[in-house]
Structure 1
Amino acid sequence: MEMVNMHEKKLFLDANKFVAIISEAGSAGFSLHADRRVINQKRRVHITLELPWSADKAIQQFGRTHRSNQASAPEYRVLFSNLGGERRFASVVAKRLESLGALTRGDRRAGPSLSAYNYDSSYGKRALMIMYEGILEQDSLPVVPPGCLSDNPVTINEFIMEAKSALLSVGIVKGYEEHFGSLSGYISDNDMQDVRRFLNRLLGLPPDIQNRLFELFASIFDHLIQDARIEGNLDTGIVDMKANVVELQGTPKTVYIDPVTGASTVLFTFILDRGTTWQLATSMLNEKQKGGLGSVNDGFYESKREWLGRRHFILAFESSVSNMYKIVRPTVGESFRDMHLSELKRKYKKVSCLKNAQKGWEVEYNVSSKQCMHGPKRKLGNFCTVGRSRQEVNILGGAILPLWRAIEKALSNQLRRNHRRLRVVRIETYADNQHIVGVLVPNAAVKSVLQGFSFYLPYP
């Protein structure tokens, strides 16, 4: 009996069995990764049915299938229920993984199943404080609470009263009975930014209010992340620049050659077309609705407000998260952030006549290829790329570490003016399947980059 586990492990590594089931007790010392020295080198899909309380134990479990000398990296699937309080376990593990760095920071595509749940961060603490202040009616909420209508303050007030009572029952809201005699209350300074305590106490609430509170917190969290991304302050590691068409323009320019290694630093210029044609949008919707899998709210929408004399059109279809919808725009394709159904209906109205939607979609698509969303009178002119489908992108690739300080100096004025930081990006050309990784250079700073590195070149 003592050798049963070793025998089963050998059957798995020899490709006689393709499913291995291990418990927490068996999560130490076993190597089940796609080792190049064994027969079974298929990519591992590691399914975790229940996250442990300890982040270190979770990392120990993940290490069973992710080791050196492997033919391919594993794919992790972490399963847990839709109760808001259970996000606590994922949040703790995600924070621990990000502190290690390798799995979640160097490549934003690595470990996405957990890094998306790292709520115990500076953004999570700020989101929690904003939510508490809104519930205590010390400030307004930046998002509409789940299940409420923006034009109906009664439903919002009812939610706030219910949230106060819920937080009181788990000991987060205190003092209103003793000092105030009403539902105003207070939350201690220590609890205002204690995300772990909030997620832990959520487990003591009924599922309905538990999920609504967590959804409100997650919505504020996403709102802060989106603002940081727009402002250029979000550190996301290596960012993939995606587009429907990627074209390399001209010959890459060598700006520096390392005298020791001979490695060169090269400036690449690409033309990206992120726009979505009407034909592509309709095919995406048809694919979603194939087999009756689509939602009744899937379809094309028109904005209720005008911008520069015209209304915007979008395609919305339900995502894997309940009441959340993926948004596709004619100008920039699929949005980074999914939109809640309440926000979708608040800002847009569904289009019943496809001919009207097609006309508006094609107008917006054609205009976005020539100018940004701010119109032709934008002060930055062609340098502004907000809402522009076709744009020029410059990437400084190759040996960039020896020039990191020089790059910062050359781009300092541009970065300071736009309150941004250096961004490392990755781009793939579809024609020759070439992958380029480097620093994104704003169009307005290309000339200064070429001038700033001219003294590094070993030739005139």
Structure 2
Amino acid sequence: MLTEGQKTQRRRVHVTLELPWSADRAIQQFGRTHRSNQTSAPQYRLLFTNLGGEKRFASIVAKRLESLGALTQGDRRAGPSLSAFNYDSTYGKRALTMVYRGIMEQDSFPVVPPRCSDNQASIEEFITEAKVALVSVGIIRDATVCNGKVAGKLSGRIVDADMHDVARFLNRLLGLAPDIQNRLFDLFISILDVVLHNARREGQLDSGIVDIKGKNIELKEPPKTVHVDSLSGASTILFTFTIDRGVTWESAKAMLDGRENDGAGSSNDGFYESKREWMGRRHFTLALEGSTEGIYKIIRPAIGEALREMPLSELKGKYRKVSSIDKVSKGWQDEYDVSSKQCMHGSKCKVGSYCTVGRRLQEFNILGGLILPVWGTIEKALAKQVYQNHKRIRVVRLVTTNDNQRIVGLFIPNAAVESVLTGLQWVQDIND
């Protein structure tokens, strides 16, 4: 136990070599080193292999920790390594249903399965392997081999109770060979990313307190006092920031060169070009292997490092490696320049100048200071917005680049600023 009376005050590290089957027992173990009279909380390190099925253990513990409340609800940085592996959620259940429907050929996959090409034959081969695997672990029941036009194909059914049971899916993966186990798990994660992206785009994803990141974050203009409480005299303040999220070609090239010079990279590190065109052009990305073998950090010209790392199978499925430096530098610079003025949807985007998807330079508004007394007014103003992702209240946090000023408050979309300020002025007039 590390207390004030002890001579050594170094922070402790609790290493778990194998997670217990019960999440409650894991919490009990953590509690043995996390006590009320400690001077600092220990760091927890959970060790497990990269096999898809073994991640079930981390999923169980993460779900239990999240149910404790404030650990991850109040500050999402409190336990990001755990919540990142909690797949047994509403979005996880939705993603699993899409996986099963794709394997049973009731619907098409929203992504290309791992190590498959756009060629339908390779996808059908994967589906056949997946069916055999799921039959072997009892997820697909009443399996039969078809005759006639679809002779040789495997048919069967997945009961309704299993369609949303993420825990059972991860549990049964443990009984599969590593290759198909990882391919099925990668497919599940890729589809989950699509589900989360759609929820985020529609403004339905609850992310807690969101940290706003960028290469350069600066105040665009002096903060404005937009409301003063008549009783306390406290102010509500509008901060407007300019955020540059991009990575220049020179910086990207330096990242890759640094890895190669240090001998820390892998043979798959490098620049990649998308196999498909988007809005009339192909896009470029830099992939660097992360701390886990076969998992890559993705850096893009417009938005910098992506939040999610990408498995090698998905990387090679969506992109092809480019050896021509001239080709990459031109494509990278073009995307860097274009993204300063428009979103990734192009000049014909339905949202117009208010869309920030894939835009490098952004204007970002945060309402700080006194918030609770005017919460209802802000909520009503946002509810009037046309687009769904502009209606949701989000708590954000950022730090300016030059002076390290930390701001926490409510994110106000550009399209909603006028409506919010009008509502606050109306409240001010009533109070006066």
Task: Spell out the pairing of 1:212-231 with structure 2 (5 A cutoff).
Answer: 212-231=183-202
Q: Which residue of 1 aligns with 2:410?
A: 439
| Structure 1 counterpart of 2:69 | 101
Q: Distance in 2 between matches of 1:333 and 1:300?
A: 14
Mapped partners of 1:83, 1:349: distance in 2: 25
Separation of aligned partners in 1, 2:267 and 2:145: 49
Q: Which of 135, 150, 156 in structure 1 is aligned with 2:123?
A: 156
Deviation at 1:447, TM superposition (A): 1.4
Query: What is the CA-CA distance between 1:95 and the residue it aligns to?
Result: 0.9
Residue equivalent to 2:133: 166
Structure 1 residue identity aligned to 2:252: A
Deviates more, 1:112-121 or 1:217-226: 217-226
1:394 lines up with 2:369 in the alignment: no
Change (3 A) 1:363 1:79: same
Q: Structure 1 residue 259: deviation in Å?
A: 4.4
The residue that corresponds to 1:53 in the other structure is: 21
Aligned to 1:176, what secondary structure does the other structure show? strand
Q: Map residues 13-92 of structure 1 onto 2, 5 A cutoff.
A: 32=1, 34-36=2-4, 38-68=6-36, 70-92=38-60
Does 2:287 correspond to 1:319? no
Instruction: Write out aligned runs for 1:44-443 (5 A).
Output: 44-68=12-36, 70-151=38-119, 153-177=120-144, 183-307=154-278, 310-378=281-349, 380-414=351-385, 417-418=388-389, 420-443=391-414
Shift of 1:308: 5.2
Deviation digits for residues 319-360 of structure 1, max 9, x if unmatched? 334443322111111122333434434443333222332222
Take 2:317 and 2:50, find their aligned partners in 1: how far apart are those partners?
26
The CA distance in 2 between the partners of 1:391 and 1:178, in whole Å, is: 56
- Give per-residue Cα distances to partners, 1:152-177, cap 9 Å, x unaligned: x3333232222222222222211134
Call closer, same or farther: CA 1:434–1:188 in 2, change over 3 Å.
same
Give 3-state SS (helix, strand or coil) of 2:21's partner.
coil
Deviations for 1:347-382, whole angstroms, at most 9, x for unmatched residues?
Answer: 433332223322222222222222323334545443
Cα distance in structure 2, aligned partners of 1:409 and 1:67: 43
Q: Percent identity?
A: 64
Q: Cα deviation per residue 1:181-216 (whole Å; 9 max; x = unaligned)?
A: 962100111111111122222222333332322222
Residue identity matched to 2:9: Q
Deviation at 1:53? 1.6
CA contact (8 A) 2:216 2:244 kept: yes
TM-superposed CA distance for 1:217, in Å, is 1.9
Structure 2 residue runs of 5 or longer lacking an equivalent are: none
Consecutive unaligned residues of structure 1, counting only runs of 5 or more, are 1-31
For the residues of structure 2 that align with 1:311 and 1:132, how far apart are their CA atoms?
31
Distance 2:292 2:174 in 1: 20
Q: Describe the SS at the equivalent of 2:308.
A: coil
Q: Deviations over 1:220-272 (max 9, x none)?
A: 22222223223332111111110111111222122333445443321111111
Alpha-carbon spacing, 1:415–1:426, altered in 2? closer, same or farther (3 Å): farther
Aligned residue for 2:71, secondary structure, equals coil
Letter in 2 for 1:434: Q
Give the corresponding residue for 1:29.
none
Q: Distance in 2 between matches of 1:302 and 1:198?
A: 34
Normalization by structure 2: what TM-score? 0.90
Name the stretch that deviates more: 212-221 or 390-399: 212-221
Q: Which letter does structure 2 place at the counterpart of 1:324?
A: I
2:42 is aligned with what amino acid?
Answer: P
**What are the superposed Cα offsets for residues 288-338 of structure 1, whole Å, 9 maximum, x if unpaired?**
323322122222233344555544322222233444332211111112233
d(CA) in 1 for partners of 2:296, 2:243? 25
| Aligned residues of 1:268 and 1:394 also touching (Cα < 8 A) | yes
Q: 1:303 to 1:203 in 2, by over 3 A?
A: closer
The 8 Å contact of residues 264 and 399 in structure 1, kept in 2 or not, is answered as: yes
The answer on whether the counterparts of 2:390 and 2:413 sit within 8 Å (CA) in structure 1 is: no
Q: CA RMSD in A?
A: 2.7
Whether contact under 8 Å (1:271, 1:392) holds in the other structure is yes
Shift of the alpha carbon at 1:179?
Answer: 11
Contact 2:144 2:155 in 1 (8 A): no
Letter matched to residue 56 of structure 1: D
Alignment partners' CA distance in 2, 1:275 and 1:171: 48
For residue 236 of structure 1, give the secondary structure of its aligned residue in structure 2. Answer: coil
- Which secondary structure does the structure 1 equivalent of 2:236 belong to? strand
Q: Does the CA-based 8 Å contact 2:228-2:235 persist in structure 1?
A: yes
- Other structure's SS at 1:297 match: coil
8 A Cα contact 1:149 1:342, kept in partner:
no
Structure showing greater relative contact order (alpha-carbon pairs closer than 8 Å, 6 or more residues apart): 2
The whole-number CA distance in structure 2 between the counterparts of 1:178 and 1:383 is 54
SS of equivalent to 1:104: helix
Q: Secondary structure at the match of 2:113?
A: coil
CA contact (8 A) 1:143 1:220 kept: yes
**SS of equivalent residue, structure 2 residue 127:** helix
Aligned equivalents of 1:235 and 1:354: distance in 2? Answer: 41
91-100 or 417-426, which moves further after superposition? 417-426
Distance 1:166 1:372, change over 3 A: closer
- Alignment partners' CA distance in 2, 1:431 and 1:36: 36
